[in-house]
Amino acid sequence: MRFAVGIVLIDAPHSALNMLGIDESLADRNVTRVKKLRKGGKSYPYVSPQAWRYWWRKTLAEHFNWELSPLFREQKQVFTAANPIDYPDDDVFGYMRAFKKGNTNITVTRVSPLKNTPLISVLPDRSSVTTDEGYASRHEGDPVPYSQEFYSTVLKGAFSLDLDSVGRFTRIDKAGFKNLLDKDSIKNKELKKEVEEMEKKAEELGVQMNRKEWLMPSNIRKKRASETIKAIRYFLGGAKQTQYLTDVTPKFVILAMFEGGINPFISNVVYDDRGEIKLDNEAIISRILEFKDLLNPKKVFIGKDKSFMREWEDALKKVKEELEKDKIEVVLTTVGDAVEAFAKEVEAYYG
């Protein structure tokens, strides 16, 4: 199993990209908080993983014309069409849907090939969060005070894309692996017709279909996987853009392909040192060498915006020098070029 993995750093110099909402513990209830998590006695602002995935989906629709799966609502549940043949986001982002029609109640689920962390601030809240005191005064009468938090920090997120799972759908009766329904087991006419239409579309596309698995043609799998990677350079989204206008395209990335699903870049390759964000180049070198046998191909792609963390450039050259002594190629370039070159490696995986 081959995985495309990486980390991204998003520079958020004055931002409130994913808010918690009004602080209900205060009597006047007029303070809007940012989301925070606690670690080691400190609090860190973060963007939730589902918010980041929403940005990712939106970017794929905007820049790569992905037709996104429609949403349906039943009582308190919201789910997509659960149709990975027609909708590439159902394929890449996974789903869970309970088909409830008449006496039929069948659930299909798909483990998402794309997994991601939250985007977490490198700096703790005491070094990054500010509270803005404002007043609403465009109405008649006394101004109404309100407060909202925002932060100045760098957000770090990691991801893993299971390349073998993209375009591969199982029909095993197990949570996460019953991706598709079997029309022969369905009595409900409306639901049976829905499954028959999906099967007809699959036949037209040349999907290999057997009792337990469907496999899409390699050109479709290649397109979906590579565009998922290419979307990284174009990320768009985030709350409070009207007031804080944050560019959420990454300013730093490390990308590589590993067998088995590990991501050695998730923890502590960048860290807070008394309010300054530092790069731990020794950690990057040692982790890649530790998993060298799983690195396939022996290439690491590092992209950095020229204006972001200029002081890291010598440390990154050291990473390149040390890894290339062990015959691991390091492509050190801009973020856009690193993402595009990495996407070509992903395409090559599918032949």
CA distances (Å), 153 to each of 39, 58, 139, in order?
Answer: 17, 24, 35
How large is the average pLDDT for residues 201-228? 96
227 burial (CB, 10 Å; 0-12 / 13-18 / 19+) is: buried
Cis preceding-peptide flag for 13 (omega within 30 of 0): no
Q: Are 262 and 158 in contact (CB under 8 A)?
A: no
Asked which of 32-36, 99-103, 204-208 is least confident by mean pLDDT, the reply is 99-103
Q: 12-27: per-residue pLDDT in tens?
A: 999 999 999 998 888 7
- Bridge partners of residue 19, in order along the sequence: 34
Q: Which of 254, 251, 327, 317 is nearest to 289 (CA)?
A: 327
Q: How far is CA 274 from the centre of its chain?
A: 29
The residue that leads in pLDDT, 53 or 72, is 53
Give the span between the Cα atoms of 13 and 78, in whole angstroms: 34
Range of the domain at 69: 2-349
The residue that leads in pLDDT, 144 or 92, is 92
Give the span between the Cα atoms of 299 and 305, in whole angstroms: 20
Q: Are 134 and 145 in contact (CB under 8 A)?
A: yes
Give the span between the Cα atoms of 229 and 16, in whole angstroms: 25
Whether residue 30 is predicted with pLDDT greater than 90 in this model: the reply is no
Q: Can you give the pTM of this predicted structure?
A: 0.94
Q: Which of 50, 57, 263 is nearest to 160 (CA)?
A: 263
The mean predicted confidence, pLDDT, of the chain is: 94
Q: 217-272: per-residue pLDDT in tens?
A: 999 999 999 999 999 999 999 999 999 999 999 999 999 999 998 999 998 899 99
Q: Which of 127, 122, 155 is nearest to 52 (CA)?
A: 155
Orientation angle between helical segments 49-64 and 218-230, nearest 10 degrees? 110
SS3 151: strand
Phi, psi of 166 (to 5 degrees): -65, 125
Asked which of 90-104, 194-208, 265-279 is least confident by mean pLDDT, the reply is 90-104
Q: 94-135: per-residue pLDDT in tens?
A: 999 987 766 666 889 999 999 999 999 999 999 999 999 888
Give the span between the Cα atoms of 256 and 300, in whole angstroms: 5
Q: Are 248 and 238 in contact (CB under 8 A)?
A: yes
112 burial (CB, 10 Å; 0-12 / 13-18 / 19+) is: middle
Burial 49-82 (b: 16+ CB within 10 A, else e): eebbbebbbbbbeeebebebbeeeeeeeeebbbb
Total domain count for the chain?
1
Whether residue 350 is predicted with pLDDT greater than 80 in this model: the reply is yes
